[in-house]
Structure formats: C-alpha cells, structure tokens
Amino acid sequence: MIARVTLEIALRREFDYSIPAEFEGRVEVGTRVKVPFGHRTVVGVVTEIVGSSSQTQLRPIADVLGTRSLVTPKVLALARWIAAYYCCPVETALKSVLPEAVRREEAGWRERLHVHFLPTPAAPPVLTKRQEAILRIIEEWRSLPLQDLLRIGETTAETVRKLEDRGLVSIAPQIDERDPYARERILPTTPLALNDEQSVALEKIKAAMGSGAERPFLLHGVTGSGKTEVYLQAIRHALELGRGAIVLVPEISLTPQTVERFKARFSSGEPRTLVAVLHSHLSSGERHDEWHKIRDGRARIVIGARSAIFAPVEPLGLVIVDEEHEHSYKQEESPRYHARDVAVVRAQRERAVVVLGSATPSVESFHNVRKGKYTLLEMTRRIDDRRLPIVRVIDMRQEPRPPRGGAPSVFSRPLREAIRARLERSEQTMLFLNRRGFSTSLQCLKCGHACGCPNCSVSLTYHRAARKLMCHICGHEEGVPERCPAPGCGDPSIRFAGLGTERVEDALRTGFPKARIERMDSDTLKRKEDYRRILTEFRLGRIDILVGTQMIAKGLHFPNVTLVGIVHADLSLHQADFRAGERTFQLLTQVSGRAGRGDVEGEVFVQSFTPFHPAIQYARRHDFIGFYDQEVEFREQLRYPPFARVALLTLRGRNEDKVKLFIEHLRRELGKRFGDWKNLIIAGPAPAPLVRAESHFRHQIMLRTVAMSRLSTDLGLLVAEWPLPEDLHLTVDIDPVNLG
Ligand code: ADP
Ligand code: ZN
C-alpha cells in the first residue's frame, strides 16, 4: 500500500510514500509519520491510502509517530474544505485543526518538568528584580510546567534553578492530568422547568436530532430570554442519544461564569460526562490534556472559543454557536476561517444539529432564515416576563459646552443624575466606552497638528497613568510633548481631544468622590486573575460603578445592575465598513442587555451626536426586525453581503510605489482570468482604510460574487503561482469581517 502524505513544511502538495512491512497496520488516514524529503527527514500527516501512484521510485515511510492517529478522517476532510474555501494550503488548515500542544507531542503522554511554588521561609532571601518577578508568576499559578513558565516569564531555566536553590520553588517531573478548573467548587444544578417559548424551541431541536438531516436553527432570543437553559437541555438530549456536543462561545464571554453553568449541569446525575474547555488562555499542557479527554471519549461536551469547532467529538450530535454574530469567530490569520460557518459545514457533514443563537443575529444568518435555508426559533420575552430596559437616547449636541473650546464634559446631565440616583439606592451601574486610554489624540489648537504614529496611519492615544502617547496598532510609545512638535509651530496650546475609558474613570472619581469605581480594559487587566477578581467584587456589591470596554458588554449577568450608560455611541458608526451600522446596533443591544436582569427594571442611557441614526433608534426600540429590513435594503442595492460574498485581497510592503505597481498587475491578472464572469464585481485597487500599519503600506482589491466556492478555488490557484517579490505580502481573506 501507498500513503499520501502532507508535510508540515507547507508546500501545497502531497507526496506518496510506500508503507514498509514493519509499519503494516499502523498507518491510516490521519497517522503522523516521519518521511525522507530531500536530504532531510520531516514530519507529515497521512491524508489518503492509495493502491498506486503516478510517482516513480517511492521512498518508504521512516517512522510512525504516536500510537494512534490524531486526525480523524472527518476532521481531515474538514481541513481540506477549509483549505479550498479559504485559499490556504492543507498543511496550514491542519495546523488549526490540531492544537500545537497536541501536534508537537511525539509519543502521547510525557513526563514534564513542573515548577511548584513553596511557602516562603521566615526570612525571605534577597532577590533580583527579575527573580522576584518570576517568583510572583509561579506564586500566581501555584504549579506550572517549566516550559510554560519559560515562555510566559521570558526567562531561562537557569533563573528558575536559582529560585530552586534558595528553597522558594521545587522542580520535579510530573505526569498529571491538568484540569484548568481544578480549583473551582461547582454546585450541581438540575434542569429548570421551561417556559412556553423555551419548550417550543427545545421540542423542535430534539425532533431534528431524531430525524438526522435538518437545516441549521437560528435561535433569536432577546437578552435574558433563557437561551443557555435551552442549550443545556438540548445537550442533555444529545447525550441521551449517545452523541456529544460542541458549544462555541466568543473568547471574550468564555468567562468562568459561563463554563461553570455547563460543568454544574453535567458533573453529577445522569447523563453525566466531563466537560472539556478549549481556549487560548490555557497552558499548552492543559490544552493537550483537555484535547485527549475529548479524543478518549471521556469528555463528551466541549465548550470553547473558535478553534473548539475542530474538537474530535465523535459521534457529534449537536453544535451550538452562541452569540453567532460575533466577529471574533473569524480567525484573522491564515487559515482565515469563520468558526460559525465551519460549524454549519461540519454539522451538515456529520449529520449533527447546529443551533446558532443570538439576541442580535448577523444579517447573513437572518437572511438565511428569510430564504428558507435556516429554521427560526424565537424567544421574544425575558424570563419571568422581566421588562427589557428603557433606553433613552441623549442628544449630546444639545449639551452645554464649556466656553472657549475646553473639553466637553463626559457625562450629560441626565446620565449624571441617573448615576447619582443609583448610588443613593445602592444599585449598580455599568458604563461602557469602546476605547481605552485617556484621550484619543493630542492636537495643536493653533496649527491643527495631531500627534501621529511614525509607523501607522493613526493618531496616538494618550495614556495618563503611564504618562505616554501610545499607538494601539503597533505599540509604539513616546513621551508627551509640552509644545506642538510640528516644525515651525511650537505652540504651547496643545490639547487632548476625544475620550477613552481612563478619562471616563477620571471624570467619575471627580464627580462622585465617594463611589467605589473600577475600570476594566486591557490596560488594567495585567494579571490572569484580575478579570475574575473584578467581576467577583462587582457581583458581591463591593463596586458601585464598573467602567469598561467591550469586555463588559457580553454575557455577564448581574441582577443588581439597573443602569447602563453608553458614553459615546457613535464611535463604531464612523468606521469605513459596510457593517458599521450593524455593529453599532449589535453593540448597543448587547450592552443594554446588561441592565435590569434582576427584580428592578433597568434603564439605559445612550449618549450620541447622531441620535437619529437608524442603528441607534432601532436599538432603542429593541427592534431587530425593523433594523434588519432597512439594513438589507442598502446591502442589496450595493451588492454587499448577504447578497454577495466578499474576497478581500490585501497587498502590503514597505515601499508604497512598489505595492501600488504590483497591485495594478494583480488587478489586470484578475481581469484576464475572471473578466467574463457574470455578476462578479472587482473593486479597486484602493488604499486600505488603515493605509499604513507597522511601517507597511496596504492596498486592496475587493471582489464580490455569489459563487464564492468557485471563485476562491480559482483564487487559491492564482495566489499559489503568482510571482511576488520577497518584500511584498499578499493575503486573501474570504468573507472578511474586518475590512481594515
Ligand atoms: P440569555 O442567554 O438568553 O441571555 P440566560 O440563559 O442567561 O439568558 O437566562 C437568564 C436567567 O434566567 C438565568 O439566570 C437563568 O438561570 C434563568 N432562567 C433561564 N430559564 C429559566 C426557566 N425556565 N425558569 C427559571 N429561570 C430560568
Ligand atoms: Zn503604530
């Protein structure tokens, strides 16, 4: 027999090798092997077993890795689909399908060196700053693999050995099964009695599981309508049928709170199983072990972010994609797959039922309902008929401005009063602004110069705590000038403009000196535990006002929050993106959904300079269908998704003239190859919205077609053979969510 092998050194080709007698019976589709390639030996995966080969002089497989294949034929087939549709080599797709931690391991379980924190002796020895920092990391984790520590702490084994010499830590080999939630105590729960709308949804889902081939479901349920309870009971049904389930949630809402709800239901009683968790904050050891629990069939339920869609659950009965409209389901590096769309494809291939859930479905998914491709399940009411919050839109143009161009105040009068009232009643407030930092730009009042990043086409953000100007694209930092740095100006009247979360926090501390205030954004969350700590304190009522970026927008459930303020609703409206309105509608609805989840009715204040924009007005009325109907009108006119699919080609390089020259070539080539296609729109080339990032110029061509599978296959071929100078990079993004 002959094995067809794809090599890890992405070559976009497969090679045939003979299977020597000694490996007979151990090589199947998905087996990892070592094979000779030129003068080297490289690792690859068997993709097919064939009877004959067109290649002459086959060389034999040199070695077989592992005792069983890691890639099941089904997952392999999925990887092939991803490669074809998202224009990347099969090897690249395979890398996403198998976590690094699993792929690297040469022979199953292995002993690893672990570093353990030891309680400090009476007189702690004097440490260098560096050693101290490493010790703090170990203390935080209690115990972690040495490899992970070296990576996280950017340190050397030698430094860690020094800590061991001083009796502060111990280092020992260990084969343990890591459980990332081992420190949690989780109380079991039992299924709740469903309300009418929940029951209807669950009956329909169960019926589909019985019948096999069904259309995907779109569960449109308002915030707080009890979608998660429906998921839990649907999963229970899948287990009873002897099948497993995958639950995808956006990385940002993969909070301990979410995971606990699933563990609590299935950790005792019948049917009972382990719940495996897969996401990017696990150590590689944890990820390895979680993956094997699934592969062994001990964990029949997987909850995770994007890549969990590749979990080796078999047989697969149910896939749930919660918050299906979320853009983080799209991977922003090759393979640029969209986990929701992969979920639909995988479920269809494995005859599993797929449920896409959201309070604000994507225009694409709802369009599929209208076309009859998806089945709609609706939950229009909150549990216990709690009212949706009252949303008040505040016209910031009417707010008094300080004389002589000072910064306008952060809070309108009504919002300020509402916050004060909550403090008096000991209720909680969440304030939302999707931009961190203190102010978004530093601008000279005299000449208009704004301090920009030397590497990117954006202005620098002022971070007051750090006393620095920073670029949010490339991380560039510089000091804050006292005078305008523009040549020939030097005027001292340089001012900060625009808002960030840091400034909101500052305004709160000034306005409400007695309130207990916390801010949550990526600047304040430096440590692994911070996120959980702040949320716990907020839940316990030790924080009155929580300020944050989108981190606080999703999936959190705090009954005592009765006020939500959206400080600047227009931010996401001004993006150069056909989805700007949709994004704004979703964000406002999700953030509003945090209010009034307890017994007291909630109130939401939306501050805006464009208060009559449809995205804002429909969100105010909680009217998804109204928003959808007006939104699709313009999408249809301009042939944007869902009426066509988009392929975005971005060429980048340091030399702008060269980028422009080559993208013109590319445009001509596209015209040659696809010019006679019907209903294909080729737009551009044009500068990308962010024309310069990290010192690279970026220019784009956008293609729109209804026949994307066919186009992407042809684009894949073009990209593979298109000659580009080494200093230019071309990316192809199919169904992009970021037009960047
Ligand atoms: P969603 O995901 O739709 O925003 P959740 O699933 O978080 O809503 O439900 C909101 C709250 O209602 C949760 O505290 C949940 O435990 C509770 N809940 C859900 N279904 C029921 C039910 N049938 N009876 C009582 N409480 C329920
Ligand atoms: Zn920059």
Residue 383 CA: nearest ligand 1 atom is 12
Q: Which CATH architecture has domain 111-175?
A: Orthogonal Bundle (1.10)
| pLDDT score for 164 | 86
Nearest CA to ligand 1 atom 13: 226
Taking alpha carbons only, the member of 534, 523, 328 closest to residue 433 is: 523
Percent of the chain with pLDDT over 70: 94
| pLDDT score for 590 | 87
| Mean pLDDT, residues 619-634 taken together | 94
Q: Which CATH class is domain 645-734?
A: alpha beta
| Mean pLDDT, residues 639-652 taken together | 95
- To 10 degrees, the CA torsion angle through 425, 430, 431, 434? 180
Residue 98 to residue 311: CA distance in whole angstroms:
8
pLDDT band for position 686 (cuts 50, 70, 90):
very high
| Neighbour-count burial of 425, counting CB atoms closer than 10 A to its CB (0-12 exposed, 13-18 middle, 19+ buried) | exposed
CATH 3.40.1440.60 maps onto the chain at: 2-103
CA of 740 relative to ligand 2 center, distance in Å = 14
Whether the upstream peptide bond of residue 73 has omega within 30° of 0, thus cis, is no
Give the CATH superfamily of 390-435+500-634.
P-loop containing nucleotide triphosphate hydrolases (3.40.50.300)
Taking alpha carbons only, the member of 165, 136, 174 closest to residue 153 is: 136
Residue-wise pLDDT for 121-134, tens only, equals 566 678 888 888 88
Statement: residue 178 has pLDDT above 80: no
Ligand 1: does its nearest atom lie under 6 Å from the Cβ of 195? yes
CATH 3.40.50.300 maps onto the chain at: 196-384, 390-435+500-634
Which DSSP string do the residues of 175-240 spell out, in sequence order? -----TTTT-------PPPP-HHHHHHHHHHHHHHHHS--PPEEEEE-TTS-HHHHHHHHHHHHHH
| pLDDT score for 509 | 94
What is the crossing angle of helices 90-97 and 73-85, to 10°? 130
Ligand 1: does its nearest atom lie under 6 Å from the Cβ of 255? no
| pLDDT score for 107 | 37
Q: Residue 579 carries which side chain, given as an amino acid letter?
A: R
Cα–Cα separations (whole angstroms), residue 574 to 82, 569, 583, 613: 33, 10, 11, 12
| pLDDT score for 475 | 83
Contacts of 229 (CB under 8 A, 6+ apart): 191, 192, 194, 198
Residue 228 CA: nearest ligand 1 atom is 6
CATH 1.10.10.10 maps onto the chain at: 111-175
Q: Which residue has the higher pLDDT, 159 or 659?
A: 659
| Mean pLDDT, residues 204-209 taken together | 94
Q: Residue 713 carries which side chain, given as an amino acid letter?
A: T
Statement: residue 606 has pLDDT above 70: yes
Lowest mean pLDDT among 60-74, 303-317, 497-511, 561-575: 60-74
Residue 79 to residue 406: CA distance in whole angstroms:
56
Tell me which fold the domain 2-103 belongs to: GIY-YIG endonuclease (3.40.1440)
In Å, the largest CA–CA distance within the chain is: 88
Q: Check: CB of residue 681 under 8 Å from CB of residue 704.
A: yes
| pLDDT score for 60 | 93
| Mean pLDDT, residues 64-73 taken together | 74
Q: How many helices (H) and strands (E) does the chain have?
A: 20, 31
Any idea what DSSP says for residue 606? E
Q: What are the percentages of helix, strand and coil residues in the chain, rounded to 5? A: 35, 25, 40
| pLDDT score for 112 | 67
pLDDT band for position 388 (cuts 50, 70, 90):
confident
**Two structure tokens written together for 257:** 């709170």
> Which residues lie across from 321 on neighbouring strands?
248, 356
Residue-wise pLDDT for 333-365, tens only, equals 999 999 999 999 999 999 999 999 999 999 999
Statement: residue 212 has pLDDT above 80: no
| pLDDT score for 98 | 80
Collapsing DSSP to helix, strand or coil, 82 comes out as: helix
Characterize the bridge pairing of strands 299-304 and 244-248.
parallel
| Mean pLDDT, residues 69-89 taken together | 86
Q: What is the mean pLDDT of the chain?
A: 87
Residue-wise pLDDT for 514-565, tens only, equals 999 999 887 777 666 777 788 889 989 999 999 998 777 765 778 889 999 9
Statement: residue 21 has pLDDT above 60: yes
- Residue matched to tokens 């296959």: 713
Statement: residue 24 has pLDDT above 50: yes
Statement: residue 105 has pLDDT above 60: no
Residue 669 to residue 714: CA distance in whole angstroms:
12
| pLDDT score for 108 | 44
| pLDDT score for 106 | 44
CA of 445 relative to ligand 1 center, distance in Å = 52
Residue 379 CA: nearest ligand 1 atom is 3
Residue-wise pLDDT for 467-478, tens only, equals 888 888 888 899
Statement: residue 109 has pLDDT above 70: no
pTM of the model: 0.82
| pLDDT score for 399 | 81
Residue range 196-384 in CATH 3.40.50.300: yes
**Mean pLDDT: which of 286-295, 413-422, 429-438 is highest?**
413-422
| pLDDT score for 181 | 60
Q: Which residue has the higher pLDDT, 609 or 177?
A: 609
Ligand 1: does its nearest atom lie under 6 Å from the Cβ of 228? yes
Contacts of 719 (CB under 8 A, 6+ apart): 87, 730, 732
CA of 455 relative to ligand 2 center, distance in Å = 5
Residue 261 CA: nearest ligand 1 atom is 16
**Two structure tokens written together for 124:** 């702690």
- Residue matched to tokens 């029951």: 199
Ligand 1: does its nearest atom lie under 6 Å from the Cβ of 223? yes
| Neighbour-count burial of 455, counting CB atoms closer than 10 A to its CB (0-12 exposed, 13-18 middle, 19+ buried) | middle
